[in-house]
Structure 1
Amino acid sequence: MLKKEAHYQEHHFLSSDYSKLMKDPQIDDAWQSDIDSLSPYLERLTMREQRWLIGHAIHDQPPHNIAAKYGVSTETVKGWRKNAIKKLRNM
């Protein structure tokens, strides 16, 4: 895959990827209704931004816990948060 294509796929989330995220085994039935209520917002975010929103809004995790879960730095998660909030404000 070309670098440009990889970058595009990383930042432009597809609905099929959304369904994969929703089948996450760590998400149990108790959280599913909360996630369903967020689905209109999640569809407009990249997978990374969705990871932040679900971790923050559903699981009430701070950025350092989300970072540890996905093997990235806390600053990276803060970037996901910043971009997600910017997109959500423009809805």
Structure 2
Amino acid sequence: MSSEDSNSASMLNGHVQYAKGYAQEVIGNATGSQEWQESGKSATQAGIDEMKTANQQKISEPAASGFGGRVEELAGKAAGCEGMEAEGKERQEKV
């Protein structure tokens, strides 16, 4: 969560946390590391929880930005997160 406002969930931060957890879990699966697998599962769930909270708060929508939207779209594609990809496209269209 943001250091500026720890009470506000962020959709973008949730996506980043989810992607980080997914990557950790993949590494854990590839190496057979139970510790990495568990850490990845935990981080993925934390990301999902933050995205749910941000959606409920309706404060998480980032400002319209073509560049930021493109980054979010590409990150969504890389992480396999269709929601993040769609949000990135939407942000680009608002500009």
Larger radius of gyration: 2
